[in-house]
Every structure is written in structure tokens, then in C-alpha cells.
Amino acid sequence: MRESASPGQQAFERFWRRAAVRGAVIVLAALLLVGIYAPFLANEIAFLWVDRQGAHWPLFADLFNRTSYPRPHDLLFNLLSLLVPPLALVWWLLRRRLGIGRRLALCLGVVLIAWLLAMVPLIPTKSGWSAVWAHRPLSPFTSIEAHAGTAGSDVITAIFAPIPHRCDATYPGASLLPPGSINKATGTHFWLGTDDIGRDVLASLLFGVRISLSIGFVATGLSLLIGIAVGGASGYFGGWIDVLLQRLVEVMMCFPTFIIILSVVAMIGPDIFVIMLVIGLTSWAGTARLVRGEFLHQGVCDYVAAAEAIGVARWRIIVRHILPNTMAPIIITATFGIAGAVLSESGLSFLGLGDPTTASWGVLLEQGRENIRYPWLIYAPGIAIFVLVTCLNLIGNGLRDAFDPKST
Amino acid sequence: MLSYTIRRLLLMIPTLVGILIINFAILRLQSASLTQSMQQQVGNQEGASASHQVRSQASYSAIENHLARFVRTGNNLPALINVRGWLDKDDVVALLRQAASPTSKPSVRSQAQSTLWLLGHFGVEPLEEVIADDSLVDLHGQASVALTLDAYVPLNIEDLKYMSEQRQDDIRVRNGELRKYRFPAGRDDPDYAEKRAKLLALCERDKKEFAHTSAAAWGALLRETGICDFFYKLFSGNLYSETRGDYVFHLIGDRWYVTFWLNLFSIIIAWCGSLLIGIRSARTNGSLEERVATSSLFILWSVPSFFLGTLMLHHLCTNGADGRAWFPNRGLESDDSLWLTTPAFLWDLFYHACLPMTVLCYASFTSLSRYVRGNLLEQLQSDYVRSARAKGCNEDQVTYRHALPNSMITMITLGSGLLADLFGSSVIVETIFSIPGLGLLLFDAAKNQDGPLIMGSTVISVLLLLVGILIADLLYAVVDPRIRSKYA
């Protein structure tokens, strides 16, 4: 290990040295990519469609169609699917020139510009614009109906996604087919079989990545925000604030979290955002306790006294001085928190209290429980959840070992 | 030790109060959706008879049913503070205007209407004044509906138990009269004058029941509120489950011990097992055996319990080609368990509980044994262990007599944290294996949106949990002399 490296770099090297952790990071990144590019992998709509009028890109045109993707998180992932390539390119091009802050700012700029560009075809046609509008070049974002208005279109060639089924489409006569059977309507394969109402399990699995990851990240983000605020205030200010907040944390620690989530979701109704919110609001106690401990530990350090002596504002000391020093344990709990949130959501859906309109892994597994003789409905989503949770746990473990070398 | 126990008990009060308040809030969430459903039902009827505001008798009896349900669950009361005692004619007129005006938003209109209908006996006097006032003739139709609904007394099971038969009959007769005398169409109603006179006469007759003094208004400020009603019903055991048709605590009393024993045995197994694994892997630290054990436990830890449970159900509990399953797939005892001898019954119980307990405790093995191992390794390197070794203790003595008691302390704190997780996963396990415990009850209640049952079973689960945590805290003091001396 290089002695000149900063503690963070040293920790990263320790983290990256372990093969299992590297594998977990790669699998997680692959899962994230699968989630982002799910509509490109599993879709009924053609990727490229060439007829006499020219080439059309109906899949792109469909990406921001609210009827195909009624859920906001799907739209977000679709937007990401367009933004990831330019972002990766910019990041790679600037890898040596700029610091991380500038690179982040530039990437945000690229996001903004790409977003605006993506909005251009969505601008409603104004009368003054119509002449220009009618002669615009064929954009991948305009729908096929807009092009095929004039003549009957003879297809020259069409390229479809590798899995030509949508996740939420039900195929008539295809309920509970075993893996590898053929869809009689289109002659395509259901590689992982179908569920009881005739949806493709593989397509549902791919789109399920989006749900699991977005629930994991949003719920954990929320619980981190609350946990850091409560724990930080409690640890930094001390006194009666600490006493009060500690009682609150103790109350939350004894909470049978899953039971509370269950009853709230049962009462409000199964909506994916309600689930995110409730998981986030009930799981912050551990983070708060941890952050409080760290703040107590850091608060007596010399650098805090120095900052106070030169008159730095309190919130600035908390946010800019102490918080960065407590990041390591926070990131570690966040990793396990994501795994926990994914498990909570799947558990809820497994009990039949999940959002039935979304194809989440837990919903699939619930069908596996109800149709106990059809093992592909158990294995496919179960293994998917297992892989995601294992990766997150491995990364969390690796981070813990890397940041805290004395505990093995 | 006594002061320590008392301190622990006192610390539980805020936890319990917090959970009760959250439960009450959840109950209220459900009541909001009930209002909506009532409004929807009425709204559909309204659409059918679009032009004038006359509704059919059937839709009013639907509203009465909703009201009866509201009164039974205490949802007709305001949540925290009851200021209905100070309502006067002007307030009611303002509400009536809101509910009647065609220009206001539908949400505002339905809100005002539902407020008027849920006023209870506080609404009767001001509404009577409105009807008696000839200058407000355009509001008479609305007011008569609100008045008949506010004066309507739904008889619930509680009332039937304690009320004299005479009184019950009186109320039934009055409810029938109220139904007859309302005139939703106002002056367009053919019998307007007659119905109005009869309604006013009826209010005059039962004036004593509907009138309220300012003392009564002050009394109702905190007493007649949703939260007070909820706590009263909870502590007096009167929570009633609509879907099951029984008192919540009867239902819980039949099942709580199933969950309790399952969790208790799972905890004991998880504890002892992980202690053994932890000690073994600390003593063989670094060997191949230890590494294999640690990584396989880690993988086991990542398997979701519902996945493992479903797999077991699929592979071990369903009849295969030879027509016989390895394990039973439902319940905790066989159908003929009443006729079994005691040893056979115990075996039957064990045979049924085997898989559920495995699913409950397998994940705890990993987390607990990891802590035992880490802690024991730390202890084994400390100075007092070195001096014990220097004294000539052999390795067994060092581990079991010196190092282990010190690492037990963390084990106990972890055990209490484990309880909360176990209660959550017992919902899943009991659902998978159809075990009639608290978890399955809670799951059914959640599926049927049965608010009182959810509340009751949550509260009981929390109580069991708190008792478990208290026991862990006391054990903590028993094991750790420092705590004992601190509170001595």
C-alpha cells in the first residue's frame, strides 16, 4: 500500500482488493444497467422499423409515453437510459483533467442539455412554427403514427428487442407456461415461463430491477436524511435536545418496523410511493444512533474547537466539518439499509400487499406461493432478490472491513 | 436492581404511548377513506337524479349504515379536540350554504356535507333553529337531512347489552320517525309543511336529549374525541372486529401464545446455536473450516426468509410423485392431535413447528455468531486472558471461564434487538405455513382493512416485544456487575 495515499484512497484500495467485493460491485452495476435499459431488452415495440418512408425508431418514441409507462419511476429510468451514454463519455474524457467537483458540475450540465434536447420533439406545434415543423428531420422521438400518416407502410426491415414481450402485457392462452415454451400468438419464446395471468416472467424480472432499486434508494435516502438530522442534532447539541431525541430513537428502536409498515400500507392502499415513504420513515433509528455516536466522538476533536474558535457558523461546522468525517459508517449502514428496504418491499408484495399494478419481484413470488406447483414462479424472482441482497451485503461488509480494518 | 427495573419500566411508557398514537393515526387514515367511499356512493346516486337534490330512500339508508359503522369505530368523532359544543346557528348556516352552493368546488361541498352529517347530537339544536327560521327556507331541505342524520342513533352491540328494552324501543321508534320526516327537496316536497311541523315537534319532544349546556360542551372538549374513544375501547377491551364479528381481544387471546412460543423457542435455538458456532469459529480462526462456515453462513443470511419458506413449502411440504410430503404444510398440530398421548403430541408439535422455526431463526445464526466470534476474538487478545494463560489455565478454561462471560453481554443486547425482527418475520412465516398465530391474524386483518383488529394485534405484539426487551435488560444487569453496582 502506498504510504502517500490519503486514508480514503487506502480504504478504497483495501475495499477493491477483495475478489468477492469486486464481483458484487460488477454484478450490482450490471443490475443497474439492466434496470435502466429494461425497455430496450424487453419490449413489444420495434427498436428500428424501416419502411418506404425511411427509418423509424418507435421504441424511442414510446419511452416518454405516459400510457406505456404510467409510473413516474419508469420515466425517470427511461430518461436515465438516454443520459447514461453521454454522461459516461464526459466522465471518461475528463478523467485526468478536472477534479471531481468540476466533473460533477459538467455532467449535470450535460444532463440538463440532453434533457432539454429530449424535450424538443415534445413541444406542441404552434401555428407560426408549423412550416418548419412539417419539414423537420425524422427524429427518433416522434411516434410512428406521425410518420405513417400519408401512405400505407410496407415494412422493409424491423429490429426488435431480444425479449419481444412487455412486462405488463398479458398474453391470452399463455397462463402458467413452463420456461422455454412458445408464445402461440407471435411464435416467440417465454424463456422463464409465464405467470398465472399470462405475463412474461423474464420481462417482469427485468422491470422489477427498477422497482427494487428505486425503492431501495429512495427509502434509504429518506431514512438517512432523517437519521443524520436527528442523530447529528442529538450528538452535537447535547443537553435536553439529546435526551428528547434519544427517547424518540429508543421508541423507534423497539418498533416492530415490518408490522407498522404492513398496517400503514394496508390502510392507505398499495402504492409504490407509499411503500417507499413508510419504509423510509420507520427505518432511521439505527442511523440516528450511529450518527449520534460519531458526532459525540468527533465533537470533542481539536479541529471542531478550532473551527468554533475562528467563528465558523454552527450549521457549517456540522455540515462541512463533522459530517464528512462521519461519512464512512453512514455509507456502510446505507448499503445494508438498501438491502433491508428491498427485502421489506418484497416481503410486503409477497404477502399480497404490494402494488399489484407493478411487476415487482415480490408480486411474482407471491404468485409462486399461490401456485405452489409451478417452481419457476418461485425460483426466478427469489434468486433475483437473493442476488441483489447478497451483492449489497457483500459491498456493505467490504466497506466495513475497508474503513475499519481492526474489526474483521 | 429494583430501581433499575423501575427505570426500565418507566422508559417503556413513551414507547408504548408513541406506538398507540401512531396506531390511532393509522386508524384515522382508514376513516378518511371511509368518508370518501360514502361520498362516492352518494355521488353516484346524485348523478342518477342529476337536476334536483332529491336522493332516494335507499341512498339515505346507505348513509345511515355508514354512520352506524362510524359510530361503532368511533370515527364520527373529531380526532383530538371537540369544539362542536360551541356550534351555533350561523356556523351551521355557513356549512349548509357551502354544501348547497353550486359554485363551490365538489371537494369543499362534500367536505361540508360530511361535516354536517357527522355532527351528532351537537348538530341537532342549531339545525332545528335553521328549520324553524322561515327566512332560510332554501336551506330547509339540506338542514332536514342533516338533522335527521344527526339525531339518528345507531344501536350497536355495546348499547344493546346495557340499554333497557324500553329505551331501545324508544330509539328504534324515533329512528323510524326521523326517516319518515325528512324532506330533501325542501319546499318542493309535497308534504313539506306537515313534515316540517312533525320534525320540529319531535325535536321539541326530545329536547332534553339533544340540548347541551356549556358544561357539556367543555366536558366534550377532550372526552368526546376519537383518540379518547380509541383509548377507552382499547383499555376496556371493547375493540370490535367487523370482519370477524368478534371482540379483538377474544381473537388475540386464542392465538397469542402460538406466536409467543414459536418466537421464544426460535430465539433460544438461534442463541444457543450461534453461541456454539461463534465459539467454534473463534477458536479455529483462520482455518479452512472457519472460512467455509463463515462464508456459507453469510450466503444463508442473504436468502430472504419468504423465499426460503416458499422453497420449503414447494419441495418438502407438497406431495411428490410418490404421493407423500416430507413435512405437513399447514398448522401446528395434526387433525387428530386431541387423541394423541403426550409424547406423541409433543412429537407432532415438533414435527409441525420444525420448518417454521428453521425459517424464523436461520438468519439470526449468521448475525449473532458473527458478533460472538468478533467479540470473543477481541476478548482472547486482552490482557486478562493473557494473565489467565500465564497462570497456567488451559485453553478451554480460558475460553469458557474468562473470555466467554464477557462476550455474553453483547449477546444479550443483540438478543433483544432480534425480537423486533422476529415479530416482523413471524407474519411472513405464519402466512406461509398457515399457522394460526398473531402474525396470520394481523395479515388477515391487513388484507381485509380491519382497523380495530390491526390495532389490537399490533398493540399486543408490541407488548410482547416490550416484555422481551425488559427481560433482556434485566438479564443484562444480571450478567454485567457494572450495571448492578450503578443502580444499587
Inter-chain CB proximity B19 and A251 less than 8 Å: yes
pLDDT digits (tens, 9 = 90+) for B215-241: 878 888 887 888 888 888 888 888 888
pLDDT digits (tens, 9 = 90+) for A95-112: 777 677 777 788 788 777
* B425, B447, B465 ranked by CB distance to A254: nearest: B465
Angle between helices B89-100 and B140-151 (to 10 degrees): 110
Please check whether residues B224 and B253 belong to one and the same domain: no
Residue range(s) defining the domain that contains residue B314: 248-486
Residues linked to residue A190 through DSSP beta bridges, in sequence order: A181
B167: part of which helix (H) or strand (E)? Answer: helix B165-181
- For chain B, residues with pLDDT lower than 70 are 30-58, 157-158, 320-323, 487-488
CB-based burial of residue A255 (10 Å sphere; 0-12 exposed, 13-18 middle, 19+ buried)? Answer: buried
The count of residues in chain B is: 488
Tell me which of B486 and A399 has the higher pLDDT.
A399
Give the C-alpha distances (Å, rounded to integers) separating A205 from A38, A194, A376, B102, B209: 9, 11, 12, 50, 63
Which three cell numbers mark A187?
A: 411464435
Q: How far is B370 from chain A (nearest CA, A)?
A: 10
Residue A89: which residues within 8 A CB-CB, separation 6 or more? none
Please check whether residues B276 and B224 belong to one and the same domain: no
DSSP A149: T
Give the chain A residue whose CA is nearest to the CA of B305: A347
Please check whether residues B175 and B277 belong to one and the same domain: no
Please check whether residues B178 and B254 belong to one and the same domain: no
DSSP B335: T
Q: What is the CATH number of the domain that holds B379?
A: 1.10.3720.10
Q: Write out chain B residues lying below 8 Å of A352, CB-based.
A: 447
- Of B224, B232, B242, the residue nearest B20 (C-alpha): B232
- For chain A, which domains are there? 201-402 (1.10.3720.10)
DSSP A284: -
Q: Write out chain A residues lying below 8 Å of B469, CB-based.
A: 254
| φ/ψ of residue A163, rounded to 5 | -115, 100
* B27, B304, B432 ranked by CB distance to A385: nearest: B304
Inter-chain CB proximity A262 and B443 less than 8 Å: yes
Which of B242, B271, B292 is the C-terminal boundary of a domain?
A: B242
Please check whether residues B154 and B278 belong to one and the same domain: no
Distance of alpha carbon B172 from alpha carbon B472, whole angstroms: 55
| φ/ψ of residue B321, rounded to 5 | -65, -35
Q: Write out chain B residues lying below 8 Å of A259, CB-based.
A: 423-424, 427, 442, 458, 461
Residues linked to residue B241 through DSSP beta bridges, in sequence order: B246
- pLDDT, position A253: 79
- Of B33, B45, B17, the residue nearest B73 (C-alpha): B33
Inter-chain CB proximity A263 and B454 less than 8 Å: yes
pLDDT digits (tens, 9 = 90+) for A203-251: 999 999 999 999 999 999 999 999 999 999 998 888 899 988 988 888 7
Write down the H helix ranges in A238-360.
Answer: 239-253, 257-268, 272-282, 285-299, 302-309, 314-316, 323-325, 327-350
Distance of alpha carbon A209 from alpha carbon A282, whole angstroms: 23
Please check whether residues B51 and B147 belong to one and the same domain: yes
* A259, A260, A386 ranked by CB distance to B307: nearest: A386
Give the chain A residue whose CA is nearest to the CA of B420: A256
Cβ distance A320 to A304 under 8 Å? no
Residue B241: which residues within 8 A CB-CB, separation 6 or more? B247, B248, B251, B445, B450, B452, B453, B456
Query: What ipTM was assigned to the predicted interfaces of this complex?
Result: 0.83
Please check whether residues B366 and B400 belong to one and the same domain: yes
Please check whether residues B162 and B268 belong to one and the same domain: no
DSSP B320: -
* A253, A263, A372 ranked by CB distance to B314: nearest: A372
Q: How many structural domains compose chain B?
A: 2
Distance of alpha carbon A313 from alpha carbon A322, whole angstroms: 13
Please check whether residues B273 and B238 belong to one and the same domain: no
Cβ distance A68 to A152 under 8 Å? no
Please check whether residues B265 and B338 belong to one and the same domain: yes
Which three cell numbers mark A316?
A: 457549517
Residue A227: which residues within 8 A CB-CB, separation 6 or more? A284, A285, A286, A287, A288, A290, A291
Which of B242, B270, B298 is the C-terminal boundary of a domain?
A: B242
Predicted TM-score (pTM) of the model is 0.82
Mean pLDDT of A136-162: 55
Inter-chain CB proximity A393 and B15 less than 8 Å: no
pLDDT digits (tens, 9 = 90+) for B455-482: 888 888 888 888 888 888 888 888 777 7
Which of B242, B266, B298 is the C-terminal boundary of a domain?
A: B242
Q: Scan residues 298-357 of B and list those with Cβ closer than 8 Å to A.
A: 298-299, 301-307, 310-311, 313-314, 318
Q: Is the pLDDT of residue A386 over 90?
A: yes
How many other CB atoms sit within 10 Å of the CB of residue A196?
14
Rg (CA), chain B: 32
Q: Is the pLDDT of residue A122 over 80?
A: no
Inter-chain CB proximity B420 and A255 less than 8 Å: yes
* B425 interfacial to chain A (CB closer than 8 Å): yes
Q: How far is A405 from chain B (nearest CA, A)?
A: 13
Q: How far is B253 from chain A (nearest CA, A)?
A: 19
Please check whether residues B222 and B259 belong to one and the same domain: no
- pLDDT, position A132: 40
Cβ contacts from A onto B, under 8 A: 132
- Of A333, A108, A78, A345, the residue nearest A213 (C-alpha): A345
Cell 459525540 locates to: A296
Please check whether residues B31 and B145 belong to one and the same domain: yes
pLDDT digits (tens, 9 = 90+) for B153-190: 887 766 777 788 888 888 888 888 888 888 877 777 77
- pLDDT, position A26: 94
